[in-house]
Chain A
Amino acid sequence: MRNIYHTRKTRTCIIILFALLMTTTVSFGAEPLGKRIVLDNGMVLLLSEKHEIPMVTVNMAIKAGNTAVPEDKAGLASIAASLLTQGTAKRTANQISSEIDFIGGSLSTGGGDDFATASLRVLKKDIRTGFDLLSDVLMNPIFEQKEIERMVKSTLAEIQRQKEEPNIVANEAFEKAVYGGHAYGRTGDDVAAYLPKLTRQDILEFYKARYSPNNAIIAVVGDVTEQEIIMLLKEHFKGWKGSNQPLPASVAPPVIDKTAVTKIDKRITQANIDMGHIGITRENPDFYAVMVMNYILGGGGFSSRMMDNIRDNKGLAYDVHSGFAAQKEAGAFEVSIQTKNESANEVIAEALKELRRIQTDLVSEKELADAKAYLTGSFPLRMDTSAKIAGMLTSIEIYNLGLDYPQRYAGLINSITREDIQRVARKYLHPDKMVIVVVADQEKAKLK
């Protein structure tokens, strides 16, 4: 139950490391991670055969995320994705859920920043039913009016509910300030403003423009051969029309030329602090140096300076971490900390101190060696389940990393020097031009 388990570190540690997902060690086998096949209809298939367990895991990424939607239609991509499973030409929403539940499988669709996702997991014996359902929801959704209304209503309620979670309130305000009108900065409020104006026509047009095989990546991991999967895909995705609509122009995030503090008042015991600015894209060649730098700064859990200083030494926080959201377009660099109201000033000062310190002084040899040891040595743990492999294959494709990426990665990490760390710290950290959001009992926090 929700209050039964208490872990020592929050799951945010896993989130921090998400961007480190592509780490590996050079000793991790000469076996390729999988095989890449481009189908006739343009769909990119990535296959990793695993025959020990009779199950199949499928991850799809479709270029139909928030970046495919103009600023005045915030939330359209997510709602379109969520509605795929709410009724097709062949099946009602209830029939879809009954069918997938009956075989003990799972089928879900959802939105995202750059891509919409569709996931399927079934036992091998149900693979045909699984693909029948998956292709049906992707190819034949009908976006029935009452389903749209139902989805809009529950989305608005969820947006409202989230306002009672101070960490979400802080994060939304942070993203709005950092991203401005950029697609990555669509907040609950933006979505709540648009949804009442949403029409079925909007959804249909978006769906037709974006949901096509040439915009889709499908990663398949499990008990299926190349021959089997190609046949299944050919059969089930037959007739899925292509589309070549360009994405709308990207809105540039605002230029922040000096630190600005946003204070939001709530009767709570903790200050929820989010601070940062725009960071880098995944495909920036400095990505690896930045990841190593961030690991040392605040991404490496108990091996990081922020955790060491603010939690371990001073006992001021349970959760403290930094991260770079590196996506197709530049994501945010964000430091996130929660501390009792009265300590807000102190932790903000300490966090800024750490940002400056990693710029002014070279990191130690030991810190660098430990970071490299972790990043390369932990690679096998990032590939030890079907879901992780599917995710990794998808990332390889999205960011053009190549299927030999696992073999190349250790070299990329191990070649980074202390000087590289300092260079990227100076280039990509801006402690004097920060967005700082503090959701707290402002009277008690007495922010400077």
Chain B
Amino acid sequence: MRNRVKSENMTMSFVKIVALTSLLSVSVVATSLGQDLKVIEKVLPNGLKVLLKEEHKAPVVTFQIWYKVGSRNEKLGTTGMSHLLEHMMFKGTKKYGPKTFSQTVMRNGGNDNAFTSQNYTAYFENFAADRIGTALELESDRMQNLLIDPKEFSSEREVVKEERRMRYEDDPVNTMVEQMMSVAFSAHPYQWPVIGWMADINNITRDELYNHYKTYYAPNNATIVVVGDFAADKLFAQIEKYFGGIPRGADVPKVAAVEPKHRGERRVFIKKQAELAAIFAGFNTPTVKNSDSYALEVLQGVLSSGKSSRLYRSLVYEKQIALYAGGDYDNISTDPNLFYVYAGVMPGKTAEEVEKALFAEIEKFKTSPVTDEELQKVKNQIEASFIMGQDSIFNQAMLLGEYETVANWKTLEKYVANIRAVTKEDVQRAATEYFSEDNRTVGILIPIKQ
């Protein structure tokens, strides 16, 4: 029997990334308990920022390049451009034809991939330490010389449509979440999915995509993050050699959209063939750049971190009305995003009763402070996770890249101290401020028969 990921971990891969990275939300409150992350930062004359961290525990290196472009930089009608562009980045430059990129990396014993989010598009190669030159050559080349051949473009568009079918069209919960997002943000680009609406994917032209590439893939709009077994001064010289000659691009267009304050609950219902009902709700909340984000992070830990958390204990374990229940705080975001709570409804139970229980747990945070034990537990969890995260160079690079792209990597150094400083009163105040009924958007999946 195949070992299936348990349903409460359905979103595990995403949740894990968000959880890991949400650990690194730090405000700009200065404290004396700083941590030296041993990162060397340099900025090239063309605006390219380089963050290097030596790690000699294993003879491996992760090379990452983070472009500050995601779905937030798109327009309705051509949503999904940044993600489609990510795909096209592997389809050939003047120097390296299609198929060459990944095959070259793999021939050198490396792994590569890329991902697109609302706020960034990032590319990485993981190698044994002596192969880093390959990454420099390939990444510097495709930053400026991507071809976007029309035939390759047509073919890859079809691949992206298959991806969309797999992730959304044929996934009832994701269909509901996608619609919920579109309502949680009525005036901001976060309303559309990163992969884009299906009609938009079909609508994008090759020239529009090329223009998107030229606009956003510039050294002044990118950060290189390298963590692993190298000598920083030597590597920096190499980076300068490969990337220094790329001309600075024009300043990228700003995203001026601001989601106005919600003045009433929003509800979305999706009827689709499914086995179980599900609820996904979001509260509009600030980012890591706001000092409230620490209290919200601690709150999220008390709410949903581990089997001793409130949602799991109450809805899954004791009441047995939810198959899975959890929360997430999307704080590492360029613009204010959502604090989510979600649950899968057990057979024989109703979405109404699960929703009621879900929001009753949220209310508790407003009416009474968390216990001393809960507070300490979450702080312990966050700190332990921070320490254990040092075991993976990939994880360390991800945090630096994500953080630097939406805010500033330096505030990571005060992260643990700022989490430690959160009080029960802070948590209660944050709950009262952000978890109002008026500030929530609720998505409900109603299963129907085929």
Contacts and interface: CB of A to CB of B under 8 A. Distances in A.
Given A101-B307, A384-B393, A4 B14 contact: yes
B4 A162 contact: yes
Contacts, number: 276
Nearest to B130: A27
A240 interface: no
B116 interface: yes
A417 interface: no
Given A6-B115, A315-B156, A377-B109, A53 B391 contact: yes
Contact of A185 (B1, B273, B373): B1
A121 B338 CA distance: 30
A338 B162 contact: yes
| B113, B158, B388, B447: residue with the most chain A Cβ atoms closer than 10 Å | B388
Contact of A164 (B59, B90, B172, B385): B172
B146 to A, nearest CB: 15
Contacts of A378: 106, 109-111, 128
A36 interface: no
Contacts of A163: 275
A311 B159 contact: yes
Interface residues of B, number: 106
Interface residues of A, number: 101
Nearest to A158: B7
A1 interface: yes
Given A101-B381, A267-B450, A379-B109, A3 B313 contact: no
B380 A383 contact: no
B418 interface: no
Contacts of B219: none
A132 interface: no
B275 A101 contact: no
A161 B162 contact: no
Nearest to B101: A302
Nearest to A295: B106
B6 A101 contact: no
A383 B58 contact: yes
Contacts of B381: 101, 104
Given A6-B194, A383-B58, A113 B344 contact: no
A182 to B, nearest CB: 10
B195 interface: yes
A405 interface: no
B177 interface: yes
B387 A53 contact: yes
Contact of B384 (A13, A123, A164, A175): A123
B3 A111 contact: yes
B87 A187 contact: no
A257 interface: no
A442 interface: no
Nearest to B228: A384
A33 B376 CA distance: 37
A380 B59 contact: yes
Interface of A: 1-9, 11, 13, 25, 28-29, 50, 52-55, 66, 74-75, 78, 93-94, 97-98, 100-105, 110-113, 121-123, 150, 153-154, 156-158, 160-168, 171-172, 175, 184-188, 190-191, 266-270, 300-303, 308, 311-319, 338-340, 370, 373-374, 376-381, 383-387
30 contacts: A1-B177, A1-B338, A2-B10, A4-B18, A6-B86, A6-B163, A7-B113, A25-B109, A53-B391, A97-B307, A97-B308, A101-B377, A102-B308, A102-B376, A154-B320, A154-B323, A157-B347, A161-B323, A164-B273, A164-B276, A171-B2, A268-B170, A302-B102, A303-B102, A303-B107, A377-B109, A380-B109, A381-B60, A384-B58, A384-B392
List the 9 closest A-B pairs by CB distance, nearest first. A377-B109, A104-B384, A315-B158, A302-B102, A315-B155, A97-B307, A101-B306, A186-B1, A318-B163
